[in-house]
Amino acid sequence: MNPDEQLYDEQVVRPYVISRGRTEARANLDLISLAVAIRQPTGLEVGLDPEHLAIVRLCRRPLSVAEIAAALDLPAGTVRVLLGDLLDSGFVAVQDPQPEVDVLDERMYRAVLDGLRAL
């Protein structure tokens, strides 16, 4: 199968198990929404699963929902649910759940163009 078009059906519902059956995150986070850890778990917290801890570890530097999902090999929807838990418990902060660039900001266009030219 061409990876460009990869579509497959899964009979295993492991992602739902990880999110304890929840499919809708309270925080509707975009794929490019950046999360960063603001508190490290002591290991004694109740209710944090290994996946929660893995996200906090990954987010020592700001990381997008898409990158977290890819790194943990979890569907983006599951990561949204887990990030919602971590937001509630104060382990991570999310800069902007629905980031949208300011299309009027000339500085943004200049910075992006400069960055691309430097590639």
Partner 1 sequence: MASVPSDKPRMPTPVKLLIAGGFGVGKTTMVGAVSEIRPLRTEELLTDRSIGVDDLSGVERKTTTTVAMDFGRISVGDDYVLYLFGTPGQERFWFVWDELARGALGAVVLADTRRLSDCFPSVDYFERRGTPFVVAVNCFEGAPVYDLAEVKMALSLPPDIPVLLCDARRRASGKEVLITLVQHAYSRRPVAKV
With respect to partner 1, which residue has the nearer C-beta, 57 or 108? 108
Of 22, 31, 53, 54, the residue at the interface with partner 1 (CB under 8 A) is: 31
> For 81-113, b where at least 16 C-beta lie within 10 A, e where not — what string?
bbbbbbbeeebbebeebeeeeeeeeeeeeeeee
**87 lies in the site for partner 1, by CB under 8 A:** yes
CB atoms within 10 A of CB 75: 17
Tell me which residue has tokens 């200049």. Answer: 110
Q: Which residues would be at the binding site for partner 1 (CB under 8 A)?
A: 2-11, 13, 15-16, 23, 27, 30-34, 36, 38, 62, 64, 66-67, 69-71, 75-78, 87, 90, 92-95, 97-101, 103-104, 106, 108-109, 111-117, 119
